[in-house]
Amino acid sequence: MADTQYTEDNIRSLDWKEHIRMRPGMYIGKLGDGSSPDDGIYILLKEVLDNCIDEFVMGAGKTIEVRIKDKEVKVRDYGRGIPLGKVVDVVSKMNTGGKYDTRAFKKSVGLNGVGTKAVNALSAYFKVESVRDGQMKQAEFELGELKNNPDVEDSGKRKGTRVEFIPDETIFKNFKFRNEYVEKMLRNYVYLNPGLTIDFNGEKFHSKDGLKDLLNENMSEEDMLYPIIHLKGDDIELAITHSKTQYSEEYHSFVNGQNTTQGGTHLSAFREAIVKTLRDFYGKNYDASDIRKSIVSAISIKVMEPVFESQTKTKLGSTDMGGDLPTVRTYVNDFVKTYLDNFLHKNPEVAEKIQKKIIRAEKERKELKGIRKLARDRAKKASLHNKKLRDCRVHLGDMKKERRLETTLFITEGDSASGSITKSRDVNTQAVFSLRGKPLNSYGMSKKIVYENEEFNLLQAALNIEDSMEDLRYNNIVIATDADVDGMHIRLLLITFFLQFFPELIKEGHLYILQTPLFRVRNKKETIYCYTEEERKAAIDKLKPKPEITRFKGLGEISPDEFQHFIGENIRLDPVMLDKAMSIDELLKFYMGKNTPDRQEFIIDNLKVELDKVEA
């Protein structure tokens, strides 16, 4: 074995911006291009907004203005303003910030003095401006390097802080801000902070009823088994209902205004408290899964100096509320036991509906017990012998926690397509599930079909979502089918399956469509892959004289060497999103139910639009 030298020359000291730029994942999770709600560009925006929210929580400033145009972000609050002598330090000196002083920030989101430094270091351009006491201080940076540091000057502007930044495209490849994700983030902020107004590109977001508004936004009134139960305490707020159609549990959890998408101690305590309270209320030892089946709820708590399990603050690790308060578990349990129990005694009609729901869930579970066991055994056997799932190493080693956000499952059709993806994928984070033929149209069917149908059963097992989204094995679920009629049909059938049985996968932004090129245009010197007719025409013009043009009819026609370009850092994903104007039941009925004149008219009208585009 060769003798590896390890000397003083191997030791390096990085300054603050170098460390962030070299290891961005430590500070903002995954990078991405903006196609996923947890991509880095949204974390940058969140880090800036968190400071604005903390100002509001401390009673300073009721309005936040957010402007996003193309790749440039501008955020302005009307809080106290950063102390002028510390403006540069706060955005460029590690372990510097006001939140170490609990007299200034009692229950804030950001506590480690890293947030805006990470934004600064990972931005091609960054500007901060603070106004207070009739004076203003500005500073401008490029890639974290201070470029302009003018003196303090008099100003007639309103007090507050303004931040501008443009994410660095060498780190965030081909990124694009999607308004849908930004709006969801901003809505969550106003739900958690009634009285706050956020103005996003001229549209104002405001909430009167907090988490009750959140649930109303995320589900239709027709789908609610009973009106939302809305309970509030000094440091806790809950909103609870059950869905008439949804099978699994759905939770929205928050700590100090931070959306803890991976839950944590507060959510575990809440799920436990719901079960204990309802068992005590009805005097029956109902199974926990029957009690929580179809629940749709939200919880928000405020904790002194919270401890999160990562810099992106997606999972609460704190066991204590802080100060003289009890543990998180005890606090949540006591609140739910008292307030939910009181509500149910005062509202017997709601209590009756919940009990009937539990009894119905119990009956369905017992009916499915035998078939579920057979299905599990079949799934294990099929996974081992038929190689339906080619898993990634994240689930086979000790890097599961560290790289969970990067995991992707490609659902593809046919041996050739799945073979190409399997050979060209990143084996550490990307897995492949191979479909056999077209899936069943599951619209209107019961959960029983998930276990009886081999494809659905194996897919459910691969994702690990039988009872809850909590243990979802892949952060990104990507439908990879041919760009032809059959491929589109398979996409539609898979989306129907997820909407019918696991809608929260879509609601929480986990489902995507893989975009692969339709054309390859090349000459002896250069190859250009084109995703649209417009790109094809531009490529032909660029590669004059007449280049070779290939039309890809299916994924199986793309070689593994070429596929690496399309599922690596330049991957193009279209997120599957729900139309707020239509409930899931209405959506499925319209697109997947029996043919209706309305649907025929919809197809004809949209076909005309596409033909007009081609002619133009």
- Comparing CA positions, the residue from 482, 174, 226 lying closest to residue 352 is 226
Out of 3.30.230.10, 3.80.30.20, 3.40.50.10090, 3.40.50.2020, the CATH code matching 211-364 is 3.30.230.10
> What value does the mean pLDDT take over residues 63-75?
95
Question: Which residue reads 């081909």 in tokens?
Answer: 174
Of 426, 444, 231, 460, residue with least CA distance to 347: 231
H or E, element range at 64: strand 63-69
Alpha helices in 283-391 (DSSP H): 288-292, 328-346, 348-385
Tokens (6 digits) for 392: 């990634």
Q: How far apart are CA 505 and CA 222, in angstroms?
A: 21
> How confident is the model over 174-194, as a mean pLDDT?
92
Q: Is the pLDDT of residue 259 over 80?
A: yes
| Residue 394 pLDDT exceeds 90 | no
The mean pLDDT of the chain is: 84
Is a pLDDT exceeding 90 seen at residue 391? no
| pLDDT > 60? residue 386 | no
Q: What is the pLDDT of residue 398?
A: 55
Residue 143 has pLDDT above 70, yes or no: yes
pLDDT of residue 101: 43
Rounded distance between C-alpha atoms, residue 48 and residue 44, angstroms: 7
Residue with tokens 């460029």: 92
Residues ≥6 apart with Cβ < 8 Å to 143:
17, 21, 121, 123, 124, 168
Better-predicted residue by pLDDT, 38 or 123: 123
Q: What is the pLDDT of residues 432-483, one digit of tens each?
A: 998 888 888 888 888 888 888 888 888 888 898 877 777 788 999 999 988 7
User: In 10 A of CB 306, how many CB atoms?
Assistant: 26
Indicate whether 269 pLDDT > 50. yes
* Bigger pLDDT: 521 vs 558: 521
Q: How far apart are CA 317 and CA 263, in angstroms?
A: 9
The topology under which CATH files domain 16-206 is Heat Shock Protein 90 (3.30.565)
* Per-residue pLDDT, 403: 74
Chain segment 41-57, per-residue pLDDT in tens: 999 999 999 889 888 88
- For the chain, how many residues are written? 616
Matching residue, tokens 């091609």: 124
DSSP per position, 212-260: HHHHHHHS-GGGBSSPPEEEE-SSEEEEEEEBSS--S-EEEEEETTEE-
User: Above 60 in pLDDT, residue 104?
Assistant: no
pLDDT of residue 241: 96
Which CA distances in Å does 529 have to 160, 353, 384, 534, 551? 47, 56, 37, 12, 10
Taking residues 543-549, what's their average pLDDT? Answer: 87
Domain ranges within the chain, ordered by starting residue = 16-206, 211-364, 399-516+553-578, 519-551, 589-616
Cα separation, 310 vs 313, in Å, equals 5
Mean pLDDT over 502-530 rounds to: 89
- The DSSP bridge partners found for residue 145 are 142
Q: Which helix (H) or strand (E) holds 28?
A: helix 25-28
Of 38, 144, 141, 131, nearest in space to 76 by CA? 131
* H or E element, residue 301: strand 295-301
**What's the CA gap between 558 and 551, in Å, rounded?**
10
Q: In the block, which residue shows the tokens 């009750």?
A: 212
Give the phi and the psi of residue 254 in degrees, each rounded to 5: -145, 150
Of the pLDDT bands very low, low, confident and very high (cuts 50, 70, 90), residue 381 is low
Closest by CA to 530, choosing from 516, 547, 543, 514, is 516
In the predicted model, what is the mean pLDDT of residues 339-344?
96
User: Span 151-176, mean pLDDT?
Assistant: 92
Question: What is d(CA 268, CA 261) in angstroms, rounded to the nearest whole number?
Answer: 13
- The domains spanning 211-364 and 399-516+553-578 adopt the same CATH topology: no
Residue 401 — very low, low, confident or very high, per pLDDT cuts 50/70/90?
low
How far, in Å, CA of 73 to CA of 45, rounded? 8
| CA–CA gap between residue 119 and residue 124 (Å, rounded) | 10
Radius of gyration of the chain (CA): 26
Q: What are the C-alpha distances in Å from 262 to residues 74, 151, 254, 296, 406?
A: 28, 44, 10, 16, 14
User: What pLDDT was estimated at residue 507?
Assistant: 85
Question: Which residue type, as a one-letter code, is found at position 211?
Answer: L
Residue 1 has a pLDDT of 45
Under the banding of pLDDT at 50, 70 and 90, the label for residue 33 is confident
Q: Say whether pLDDT at 112 is over 60.
A: no
- Provide the percentage of residues in the chain whose pLDDT is more than 70: 86
Contact status, residue 409 vs residue 476, Cβ threshold 8 Å: yes
Mean pLDDT of 132-154: 93
Lowest mean pLDDT among 224-238, 264-278, 463-477: 463-477
Question: HSE-up of 275 (CA within 13 Å, CB side)?
Answer: 15
* The pLDDT of residue 308 is above 80: no
Q: Among 265-274, 471-480, 501-510, 581-590, whose mean pLDDT is lowest?
A: 581-590
Residue whose C-alpha is closest to residue 516's, from 469, 548, 484, 544: 484
H or E element, residue 574: strand 572-575
By the 8 A CB rule, do 239 and 212 touch?
yes
- Tokens representing 606 are 């949209």
Residue ranges with strand state E in 117-216: 123-132, 135-142, 145-148, 153-154, 160-167, 197-200, 203-206
What mean pLDDT is predicted for residues 369-393? 72
Give me the pLDDT at residue 379, please: 65
Give me the pLDDT at residue 270, please. 94
- Interval 264-286 mean pLDDT: 93
Looking at beta carbons, which pairs linking 88-92 to residues 24 or more positions away fall under 8 Å?
A: 88/139, 88/146, 88/149, 90/116, 90/128, 91/116, 91/117, 91/119, 91/120, 91/126, 91/128, 91/139, 91/141, 92/16, 92/17, 92/117, 92/120, 92/141, 92/144, 92/146
In terms of pLDDT, which residue wins out, 455 or 287?
Answer: 287
What's residue 312's pLDDT? 60
> Above 70 in pLDDT, residue 562?
yes
pLDDT at 166: 96
> Would you state the pLDDT for residue 8?
55
Residue 535 has a CB neighbour count (10 Å cut-off) of 16
Per CATH, which fold does 399-516+553-578 belong to? Rossmann fold (3.40.50)
